[in-house]
Structures are given as C-alpha cells and as structure tokens.
Copies of this chain bind each other. A is one copy, B any other.
Amino acid sequence: MNTSVMEQEEAAAGGEADSQPTYSIERPVYDEAFIRSQLLHRRENSTTLRQRLAHRFRCSSKKAKAAVFSFLPILTWLPNYPVKQYMFSDVVSGLSTGVVQLPQGLAYAMLAAVPPVYGLYSSFYPVLLYTFFGTSRHISIGTFAVISLMIGSIVVREAPDSMFYVLSANGTNASAVLDVEARDARRVQVAVVLTTLVGIIQFSFGLLRFGFVAIYLTEPLVRGFTTAAAVHVVVSQLKYLLGVKTQRFSGPLSVIYSFKAVLFDITSTNVSTVILGLTCMVFLYVVKDLNERFKKKLPIPIPGEIIVVIVSTGISYGMFLSDVYNVDVVGKIPTGLLPPVAPEFSLLPNLVTDSFAIAIVGFSMGISLAKTFALKHGYSVDGNQELIALGLCNFISSFFQTFAITCSMSRSLVQESTGGKTQIAGLLASLVVLLVVVAVGFVFQPLPQTALAAIIMVNLLGMFKQFRDIPALWRTSKIELAIWLVAFVASVLLGLDYGLLVAIAFAILTVIYRTQSPKSAILGHVPGTGLYCDVDEYEEAAEYEGIKIFHSNSSIYFANSDLYVNTLKEKTGVDPEALQAARKTQKKLTEKANGDRNPSLNMCGKNKQQEVTHEVVSYDDVVEQQRNGQLGAGRRASHSEEAVFLEPPLTGVHSIILDWTPATFIDSVGAKAIKQVIKEYAALDIQVVLAGCSRSLLSELDSLQFFSGVVTPATAFPTVHDAVLRCRRSNPRTSAAPTDGPLPQIHL
C-alpha cells in the first residue's frame, strides 16, 4: 500500500519542481454584512421536510426486500456460496474452532458460576443462530471470559452460598450442609433470565439503531476494563487451581475478599491439584507460544486446550484423582439437550442494570472484533444488525438454558487463521459441540477443575500485556491514560458493573474537561502569509500595533464563557473594569478641580450608565476634533482635560479581534457573555470584532439574536486577516499612517 502513496508523492514533488503552485488572492476585505448582502445566496431547498419524510417512510417492494435481506443476512450469502472454493477451508476451520469451543465452554461455565454443561449449551445454540443473523464471517460467537465473569458475579450475588444451607441430621448431630443442587439450579435460573434480558436489550437497541452506544467504550476504557477483568478472573480461579474451598464473593472489593480468603486457606492446598494445574498451564503456555511462533508453518494451530482436557480427563479417570487424591472434578454432565423452558421472570427486577452492562460490553466486544476482521478482508459489517443478531442469539438460546455470549478473541483468531471463509465455519463448530453434548458429554465427568482453571488463566495472560499501555499512553495522551487507569482501578475495586459505569462517566467528563479548559493565545501575523500564530510560541508571529487577536480553541457555552471572558481580559492586558475604575477616579479628580458643577452625577449609582456614555461621547468629541486638526481647541476646557486624563489607561489597544475559527457552537449564556464584553469594551472606545465564524455558528448567533444593538454583522469577518485589515483601516488613530500590505510591529 505504501508504494502507491510514495509514488504519488514523488509525482507531486516532481510537479512542484516545474511549476510551484502559488497561493494568490486579491479581493476587497469582506465582513459578514457584505457577505450576506452581496456575496452569498442561500440555495433554495427544493425538497421540503414533508417530502423528505415521505421519501424516508415510503414503502416499496425493493425496500421490503432490502429489510428482509438485512435482517437475515444468510439469504444474501448462502445462495451464492461457492462450495468448491470455500467448503474445504470452512470445514477445517469449523472443526478447529469447535475443538476450542468445547474446553472454553466447560471452563467459562465455571466463571459464570453454573455447572459446566451449561457452557456447552451456550457454545451450541447461539453459535447456530448466529449463522442466520450475523453479518461477520470470521468472528466466533460463544462463551467469553469477561462476560462469563460478569454473569458469575451477578449470579453469586443473587444466589449466594449462604442461601442454600440446609440442616441435615447425620445420624446423631445435625449440621448445616450446603445444598449444592438447589444452589446450582437457582444460579442457572438467574443466569438464564439475565441472558434473556441481555438479549431483549441488545435486540431492542438494534431495532432502535442504537449501535452507537458502543462508541462510549473508547479503546483505553475497554483495555483498562478488560485488564481489570483479567485480574478478577485470575483471583476467582486461584481457588480452583489450588484446590482450596472458599466462598465466592461478589460486589465491591470482592477481589480483595476472595484473595484474602484464598490466602487464609492456603494451607489446605491440594498438592495433586496444584501440580496438575501448573502442568496444564505450562503446557498450554508452551503450545500458545509455539502456535504464535510457527503461525505460518502450521496448517492449523495445535489445539492445546482440547489436548489438556482429554489428557487430564484420562489421567483423572485412570488414577481416580477424585476419589484417591481428592481432586475436584467437573462431575455430572447430563447427556442430551434440555427441552425449552420459559425463564423465571420473577427474578428480573434486580437484574435490569446489570444486564445493561453485560449487553453493552458484549456488543462492543463483538463489534470491535467484527470490524477488525471486516476491514482486513474487505467486507462490511452492520453494527445494528450485529446487535440484533447478538440479541436474538441470547434471547432465543436463553430458553434452552444458556448464559449470555458474545464473540471471543482467541477463538475468532483460530477460526480466521485456519481459513474460515463464512458463517458456515461457525455452524460446523456448533455441530461439534452438539455432538459432544448428545453423545459423549459424560466422558468429561472426571475432568479436573484445575485443568479448566489453567485454560482460563492462560487465555487471559494476554490481557495482562495491556499493562504496557500505561507507559505508551503516558507519552501520547495523559487524559487517555487517566481513562485507562480509572477504568482499571474502578473495575478492580468496585466490580465490573459499577467499574464500567464509573469509567464511562469519567470518559464523558474528560470530553467536558477538554472543551471547558481551552488553550488560549494572542495571535500574531506571520508576515506576508495571511497566517496567524501564537506570538508566545513562534518567533515569526508579530502583532499589529493597537490590535490584539485573541484565540481560544473551544466553543463558547455556559461552562466556559466566564473563563473565556476572564482569559480574554488577562491575555489582552485590557481589563475594562480596571480602566473604568481608573477613569472614574480621574473623572472625580477632574470634577473636583472644576468644582462640583454637576453634583447629581456623583450621587447615585443608578446614573452610572449615563455617566459612561457621557464620558465616551466627550472623548469621541475630542477624537473628532483631533481628526479635524483642532486638537486643544475643544469646546470647553474640561473636555480636553478629561481627554488628557483618559488617554493613559487606554493602553494603546483600539481593536480586539476574537478568533472564533475553532468555535463550533455557542449557547445563549456564551452569546450574552460575549455581547456584554463587547459592550464593556465599546464603552472604553475599543472595538471588538469577530473573525472566522463558521456559517453554522453564524446561524446559531442569528437565532440567539446576537446581531443587534452594538453588535452588527459588520463586526464579523470571514477570516482573521480580513478583520485585521479592516481594524487597521477603520481606526482613526492608526489611519494617520496608512501603508499597503501588512506592516507588522515586532512583538516584544
């Protein structure tokens, strides 16, 4: 790809050599009044709103067909499926993926705190359904660690161990015993109804075209969040790896409680379990490394996970690990599928907020992966249809006792790298799982839980690499680093649900912060270019005498208008209040000197506005007299005396140009503040003009009735340079020395 662009640039460079293009503009100075009256005419819109609406909601067979095709994407690709070309790679990819689905399904069920077989169900139904509704050809739908963990923490919260202790009379002494079956049944109910809700939410969001909600999950947020999820997962799996029996915690600070519980019980570690678990981990890690290293040489990746499952099941079965060495095993796996059952909707009320979190995280994981693959392979995925597809997968499957799914990164990479071409690969993977469920599920009953914990942990090791983001973000963007850290810390400490909420709120606040704490500068002209730059930063930028150009890179609205005005006064060095006060004092001195000719003016604050006007008028008189060459020959002595007193505090600035090039919107508070400032400066005979307003900003100003009174369209200019030229010409004090072209004064 680089080649083409580099060639283009060479061509461009070549072009420059023979004829260097010139930026050449010669035109009168425009202001907004001229632009409106002479230059620009609004195009009449031929289509009315009604026509547009009618067009939008018109029904036609073509539209209906498109809607059906968009809802059932399988109709578009299956009829054209090139069997000869694609079938073989799809079969290979499907089988490979299925072989990964199986152990992941079993393992992630443990994360979701439900019996392993439900992980198998979840690896079958949704995967099958996605074939019909999905638009991505390469993602592998199914169980996913982060989502499973989120489900798990909710399930444990709603059905904690403590709810299921029953009194059992064992011979003589009665003791409280955990009723595991009742607990698991309840947990499955919770997970299933949660999944139904997630499905409904995703489906409705898809229908409402709410695919955009995923945008709030910005990349640093997602990476911080998933790193936190990895921490949660590792902590939650420690007990399985060590064979320690501790309670499972949920809610804020659960990570710390869980970790403490395992530490306190570390003495009861089962040595066989640890050895087996660590062996599995090392093996999986090596396989992962090999797969990575010999990616190109291996036709399909080594299925490390299924090997671990099969071998450890074999060992467990052969050596009676469960009975002799007391190693925890998966236990009962019923054969066959369950008939559909309506979810237990009475559990709904407590789960609504949680399911929103799961729905959004699930979707955003799915869509980001789908987009990556689509980009790589040159097709497009439809975000809203993906939401609908995920929603339907979750909703329908939940009637068959599954828990919420999305796509998993590791599995999708397997599916894609083994040559998967279409959704057929996913379909075949689901059939592999089905086969196991209906035929040989019972085989995995002796599978040690520690092997599954090893699978989960090794899968998540990659996420810890995301800690490397921290130094990288430190260099590129502190704000994004803050988002990462907030997402991570909040999600680790508060749990994934609240953590996500906090992180999203924080990410939104950073945007506010960015718009609200703008960088501001005084601009100067780079001579002869028409370009204006920060005078503090660039040597070439030079200010014009008497003109201050104030630039602030933000829009002006309620949360920053005060700041804008204050910075303006500070940066330009012209503070109307101070000047006004100085004027007042001098005025009083003048009056005292002249005797109290007009004592009423002094009496009461209410008359102050007239006072100011009076002052300005008299000052203007003086100026006019100066212009007419009558300096010193004022109508009354007091007038010229006032003028002498007034001159010094005016600081030599006659015009302030507000560069609104970066402003994209303004609200009534902002408009009022600016108008107020313009009036304040006008009272001091300093004109304030606007430059570089975009057309949309101008129409907002119009609807806010900004252009009225002292502020007219003639005080707005399309570019800073227009404003500068006009200000230099229009001000009487500089008109004494007219020069053509820019003649900048070097700024000290």
**Is there contact, CB below 8 Å, between B664 and A40?**
no
**Is there contact, CB below 8 Å, between B559 and A685?**
no
Q: How far is the CA of A559 from the CA of B215 in the complex (A)?
A: 5
Asked whether A245 is an interface residue with its Cβ less than 8 Å from the other chain, the reply is no
Asked whether A696 is an interface residue with its Cβ less than 8 Å from the other chain, the reply is yes
Nearest Cβ in chain B — how far from A92, in angstroms?
11
Which of A12, A421, A508 counts the most chain B CB atoms within 10 A? A12
Measured CB to CB, the nearest residue on chain B to A473 is: B668
Q: Which of A701-748 contact B (CB under 8 A)?
A: 703-705, 709-710, 712, 714, 718-719, 721-722, 725-726, 728-730, 732, 735, 738, 740-741
Known: A533-B695, A738-B19. A664 touches B1 (CB 8 A): no
**Is there contact, CB below 8 Å, between B679 and A40?**
no
Asked whether A8 is an interface residue with its Cβ less than 8 Å from the other chain, the reply is yes
**Is there contact, CB below 8 Å, between B19 and A27?**
no
User: Which of B508, B554, B668, B729 is in CB contact (< 8 Å) with A19?
Assistant: B729
Q: How far is the CA of A374 from the CA of B57 in the complex (A)?
A: 56
User: Which of B40, B378, B687 is in CB contact (< 8 Å) with A8?
Assistant: B687
- Chain B positions within 8 Å of A378 at CB level: 577, 580-581, 584, 608, 612
Q: Which of A433-456 contact B (CB under 8 A)?
A: none
Chain A 15-43 interface mask (CB, 8 Å, partner B; 1/0): 11001111111111110000000011111
**Is there contact, CB below 8 Å, between B722 and A23?**
yes
**Is there contact, CB below 8 Å, between A616 and B694?**
no
Q: How far is the CA of A692 from the CA of B613 in the complex (A)?
A: 41
**Is there contact, CB below 8 Å, between A21 and B12?**
no
**Is there contact, CB below 8 Å, between B218 and A1?**
no
Asked whether A663 is an interface residue with its Cβ less than 8 Å from the other chain, the reply is yes
Measured CB to CB, the nearest residue on chain B to A666 is: B477
Asked whether A529 is an interface residue with its Cβ less than 8 Å from the other chain, the reply is yes
Nearest Cβ in chain B — how far from A551, in angstroms?
8
Q: How far is the CA of A280 from the CA of B89 in the complex (A)?
A: 91
Q: How far is the CA of A270 from the CA of B376 in the complex (A)?
A: 81
Asked whether A531 is an interface residue with its Cβ less than 8 Å from the other chain, the reply is yes
- Chain B positions within 8 Å of A612 at CB level: 1, 378
User: Which of B29, B377, B561, B700 is in CB contact (< 8 Å) with A608?
Assistant: B377
Which of A215, A605, A613 counts the most chain B CB atoms within 10 A? A605
- Chain B positions within 8 Å of A61 at CB level: none
Known: A89-B604, A664-B554. A41 touches B539 (CB 8 A): yes
Asked whether A630 is an interface residue with its Cβ less than 8 Å from the other chain, the reply is no
Q: Which of A507-535 contact B (CB under 8 A)?
A: 507-509, 511-512, 514-515, 518-519, 526, 528-531, 533-534
Asked whether A11 is an interface residue with its Cβ less than 8 Å from the other chain, the reply is yes
Nearest Cβ in chain B — how far from A415, in angstroms?
11
**Is there contact, CB below 8 Å, between A714 and B24?**
no
- Chain B positions within 8 Å of A591 at CB level: none
Asked whether A480 is an interface residue with its Cβ less than 8 Å from the other chain, the reply is yes
Asked whether A212 is an interface residue with its Cβ less than 8 Å from the other chain, the reply is yes
**Is there contact, CB below 8 Å, between A28 and B39?**
no
Q: How far is the CA of A499 from the CA of B140 in the complex (A)?
A: 46
**Is there contact, CB below 8 Å, between B3 and A617?**
yes
**Is there contact, CB below 8 Å, between B9 and A559?**
no
**Is there contact, CB below 8 Å, between B605 and A376?**
yes
Nearest Cβ in chain B — how far from A701, in angstroms?
10
Measured CB to CB, the nearest residue on chain B to A602 is: B85
Known: A219-B669, A538-B40, A668-B219. A519 touches B696 (CB 8 A): yes
**Is there contact, CB below 8 Å, between B30 and A529?**
yes
Asked whether A609 is an interface residue with its Cβ less than 8 Å from the other chain, the reply is yes
Asked whether A132 is an interface residue with its Cβ less than 8 Å from the other chain, the reply is no
**Is there contact, CB below 8 Å, between B26 and A23?**
yes
Known: A4-B616, A563-B212. A21 touches B25 (CB 8 A): no
Measured CB to CB, the nearest residue on chain B to A211 is: B562
Known: A605-B376, A676-B375, A694-B553. A668 touches B4 (CB 8 A): no
Q: How far is the CA of A694 from the CA of B526 in the complex (A)?
A: 14
User: Which of B218, B553, B557, B672 is in CB contact (< 8 Å) with A667?
Assistant: B218
Known: A8-B687, A9-B714. A616 touches B40 (CB 8 A): no
Asked whether A636 is an interface residue with its Cβ less than 8 Å from the other chain, the reply is no
- Chain B positions within 8 Å of A293 at CB level: none
Q: Which of A136-154 contact B (CB under 8 A)?
A: 138
Asked whether A641 is an interface residue with its Cβ less than 8 Å from the other chain, the reply is no
- Chain B positions within 8 Å of A682 at CB level: 1, 4-5
Q: How far is the CA of A385 from the CA of B74 in the complex (A)?
A: 68
Q: Which of A607-663 contact B (CB under 8 A)?
A: 608-609, 612-613, 616-617, 619-620, 624, 661-663
- Chain B positions within 8 Å of A377 at CB level: 605, 608
- Chain B positions within 8 Å of A703 at CB level: 475-477
Known: A85-B602, A540-B40. A529 touches B664 (CB 8 A): no
Q: Which of A68-91 contact B (CB under 8 A)?
A: 85, 89
Q: How far is the CA of A57 from the CA of B29 in the complex (A)?
A: 48
- Chain B positions within 8 Å of A624 at CB level: 7
Nearest Cβ in chain B — how far from A301, in angstroms?
14
Q: How far is the CA of A741 from the CA of B21 in the complex (A)?
A: 9
Asked whether A380 is an interface residue with its Cβ less than 8 Å from the other chain, the reply is yes
- Chain B positions within 8 Å of A662 at CB level: 661-664, 694
- Chain B positions within 8 Å of A664 at CB level: 514-515, 518, 553-554, 662
Q: How far is the CA of A616 from the CA of B3 in the complex (A)?
A: 8
**Is there contact, CB below 8 Å, between B219 and A5?**
no
Nearest Cβ in chain B — how far from A21, in angstroms?
4
**Is there contact, CB below 8 Å, between B218 and A729?**
no
Asked whether A489 is an interface residue with its Cβ less than 8 Å from the other chain, the reply is no
Known: A41-B540, A602-B85. A704 touches B379 (CB 8 A): no
Asked whether A419 is an interface residue with its Cβ less than 8 Å from the other chain, the reply is yes
Asked whether A391 is an interface residue with its Cβ less than 8 Å from the other chain, the reply is no
User: Which of B25, B558, B696 is in CB contact (< 8 Å) with A721?
Assistant: B25
Measured CB to CB, the nearest residue on chain B to A721 is: B23
Q: A3-B617, A376-B609, A378-B608 given; name 15 further pairs at CB < 8 Å.
A: A1-B682, A2-B613, A7-B620, A9-B714, A20-B29, A22-B725, A23-B719, A30-B531, A43-B536, A218-B559, A219-B669, A531-B718, A538-B695, A661-B694, A662-B662
Q: Top 8 nearest A-B pairs by Cβ distance?
A: A218-B558, A12-B730, A4-B616, A553-B664, A25-B530, A21-B729, A377-B605, A21-B725
Listed by A's residue number, 14 A-B pairs whose Cβ atoms lie within 8 Å are: A4-B616, A4-B685, A5-B687, A8-B685, A11-B730, A15-B730, A22-B27, A22-B29, A215-B560, A480-B667, A511-B511, A514-B557, A514-B665, A553-B665
